[in-house]
A and B are shown apart, each in its own frame.
Chain A
Amino acid sequence: MMTGLKSYILLLLSAIFLVVCSTNTKATVHKPKAGDEVSTTLVTGSKDGIFSSRASYTFNVKNATDAPQTGTVSYIAVTPAGVTVAKESRMVNLSKHSNNSFDFTVPEQKPGFYKINFMINVSDYDDTTRRVFGVRPEEIQSQHGRPADFDSFWQTTKNELATVKPQFKMTEKTEQETENRKVYLIEMRSLDNITVRGWLTIPKTTIRNRRFTTLLALPGYQVDLKPMLGEDNDIAIITLNVRGQGNSRDVIHPKRPDYISLNAEDKNKYVLRGAIMDCIRTIDFIYSRPELDPKRIEVSGGSLGGFLAAAVAGLDNRVQLVSSQNPILSDIRNLPNQEDWPMYDLHKYAGEKGIKFDKVLDNLDYFDIKNFAQNIQTPILLGIGLLDHLAPPNNEYAFYNLIPGKYRRIMVFKDLGHEVPTAYIMKDGHMMRDKFALF
């Protein structure tokens, strides 16, 4: 008799990363506060908001009031820099308790991403729905090159790291262990002989000499990562607090907003140079441990953690899988809105220090993830949100398009900002299970 059975959600596992949100970009249905009187919904003509030439939308308007509604429905599409590329307005006359749909097609645009606002202005209701669409983003290319000595800069940095004795230390924290996991505080010396710390949790096992797949979870901006537990019996998890974050703040401990700009005027002292090396050192740690399988390492992170994961992917081929969610600092010279983080804080830092901003940009070229892209030889999954103003889609694609095609995958979420949904997490989990044969 042949029968099959399958599929088993075994466990929860986690990668914590910092997400910065400041907008209400997710709403798709707009209603007046007074009640269900006039409401709108916007349907995008493609599931991920990406089009081959002309973007299309359907704007649905429902009038549930007892009065007719007259006015306009309209849209305006602009470049990331705010230049209007298309707009259209139509008269609307809705009788009471009625609805209507309006199809809009945006004229053909050049490859890139565009902001588009849909407005309704009728007798008793005004509202705007904000969206972003993309046109052939696979053709997006950064207009800025990378420094000629980019590779040698990082090779020198890695050589410098190699001169630092790691002094790995593991301290079991029995008070934090769970029924199925042991918990360890891990410590190591990294670049500039700075001690960085993190947490390792390992499933308890009866299998002798078992070597676990390791998930290295990298932190978001100024996040204090804690031990990551869960019911998974297959995966060891390291949560790393890079220098200046969490329990690795004994030498570098800036105020939260100052971290991103710390020593930005000197590429050899910039805080992220050391932070990236802290990640590399942690891979050294994984390699040093007999219970961790050096052939099965995934590095994952979001926001700053996504940046760190992308940089590690470009610098260290010992990693077998990378998941980078909403990575910041991509195509830095093309971050259009300098009122936004992180450019605002970098400008502020340069002003306070009396440094020419061009000097800061010159140094940041060594930390721009698009400049790491061409060196990546590890499968990498990138997750982006079209409404993300901290990691804008144009910039993310400038990074993505430079990654060799055989290694890259991307998931685009048209209605999300600086975050990824469960679908991404599931995909990431499935990829890891498959890649490391954890069937």
Chain B
Amino acid sequence: MTFNKKLFKYLLAVAILIAFAPRNSYADGFPVRPGRFILSPSVSYFFANKQFDSTSHRRAFDNNGRFHSVSYAFYSEYGISRKFTLSALVPYSMNYFNTDSITHAITTSGLQDIEIGIKYYLANINYKYYFSIKATGIIPTYHNNASLGYGYYGSELKLAFAGSGHLFGKQSYFVAENAVREYFGSESVFQDRYNLTYGLTLDKKFKEQLSISIGGFYATSGNSLINPNPIISANPNTSKNFAFNQVSVSYGHAFSKNLSLFLTGGTFITGRNTGAGTSLSASLNYRLDTR
């Protein structure tokens, strides 16, 4: 049999190439393209009219106390190289605590801790599962305002594992992260922060995304006393000995390849020495390639 007598067939070898979709801010795991900026402004509202006490029982604040917090944050990432990504977080918070026994709410506001991080893309498994490690420096922007933060410099080390695949005929993904954080000061605080996210893309054009997350903090300090000021003790950003676990649902919509909006709602399910809160947030995610 000679070649020219055989069946000729062209095979179109279609290389379906995978790029990462826009992600809600703060989630690590996947590497960032070199030269790419990810810019993510967000606004969050946190409300708690109950608290978890030191025995993890949920109870109302004294005198029908209510804690509210509105936070604005700007988060950004920049891909330095294939392996390294730079990140920055600048949060601004306005906190309110009110009770039936006071005429004017206790309020505080201001910039909180700025975080500067560098992420290193460790490895992947079959280009499906990605591992990264991130080191973050924490820089307080305020002095002697315990309602905005500890006022200590700190550092964090985070390990992240992320992946994607098909489930029920849809593209799905996950991110698993755990971070240990230490604030350095006379009353140093150690925190462990974790987050698990599982999500699905809802349409073939990858415009609609839905995810669920469970995450939480565990914080401990040399000073085990609970701050009597409720605007401090109710706020997970300012307590020193507390823990919580929360679940959240997030919906993402991509307006274009580079611009997405994420709406997230979450609630605390367990906790200790912190407000039993509910949060709502909206964040924009804009990608800008420079190379």
Contacts and interface: CB of A to CB of B under 8 A. Distances in A.
Interface of A: 1-22, 207, 210-211, 215, 220-221, 223, 232, 234-235, 256-257, 260, 300, 302, 325, 339-342, 344-345, 348, 419-420, 422, 424-434, 437-439
Interface in B71-108: 79, 81-82
Interface string B209-225: 10101010000000000
B10 A223 contact: yes
Interface residues of B, number: 69
Contacts of A223: 10
Q: Enumerate the 10 nearest inter-chain pairs by beta-carbon distance, A residue then B residue, closest first.
A: A4-B27, A4-B175, A430-B127, A341-B3, A8-B21, A7-B164, A437-B82, A3-B24, A6-B173, A429-B15
Of the candidates A4, A420, A437, the one having the most CB atoms from chain B within 10 angstroms of its own CB is: A4
B23 A6 contact: yes
A260 B233 CA distance: 81
B124 interface: yes
A6 B34 CA distance: 17
B18 A234 contact: no
A12 B14 contact: yes
A3 B199 contact: yes
A339 to B, nearest CB: 6
Contacts of A339: 1
A4 B23 contact: yes
9 contacts: A1-B26, A2-B175, A4-B24, A8-B171, A12-B15, A14-B14, A348-B2, A426-B16, A437-B34
Contacts of A18: 8-11
B250 A6 contact: no
A419 B127 CA distance: 23
B262 interface: yes
Interface string B162-181: 10100000011111010000
A7 B166 CA distance: 10
A19 B18 contact: no
Interface of B: 1-4, 6-24, 26-27, 29-34, 44, 79, 81-82, 124, 126-128, 162, 164, 171-175, 177, 195, 197, 199, 201, 206, 209, 211, 213, 215, 248, 250, 252, 257, 260, 262, 264, 266, 279, 281, 289-291
Given A207-B290, A439-B32, A2 B27 contact: yes
A429 B197 contact: no
Nearest to A255: B4
Contacts, number: 216
B9 A21 contact: yes
A273 to B, nearest CB: 20
Contact of A1 (B6, B8, B24, B172): B24
A281 B128 CA distance: 35
B14 A422 contact: yes
A425 B13 CA distance: 7
Contact of B1 (A22, A420, A438): A22
Given A3-B24, A210-B291, A13 B8 contact: no
A424 B3 CA distance: 26
B6 A5 contact: no
Of the candidates B19, B26, B248, the one having the most CB atoms from chain A within 10 angstroms of its own CB is: B19
B171 A7 contact: yes
A232 B15 CA distance: 10
B1 A257 contact: no
B291 A211 contact: yes
Nearest to A305: B13
Given A1-B24, A345-B2, A429 B290 contact: no
Given A20-B9, A302-B11, A439 B173 contact: no
Given A210-B291, A232-B17, A437-B31, 11 more contacts: A3-B250, A4-B199, A5-B211, A7-B21, A7-B171, A8-B18, A9-B16, A256-B4, A257-B4, A344-B3, A430-B128
Contact of B17 (A11, A220, A256): A11
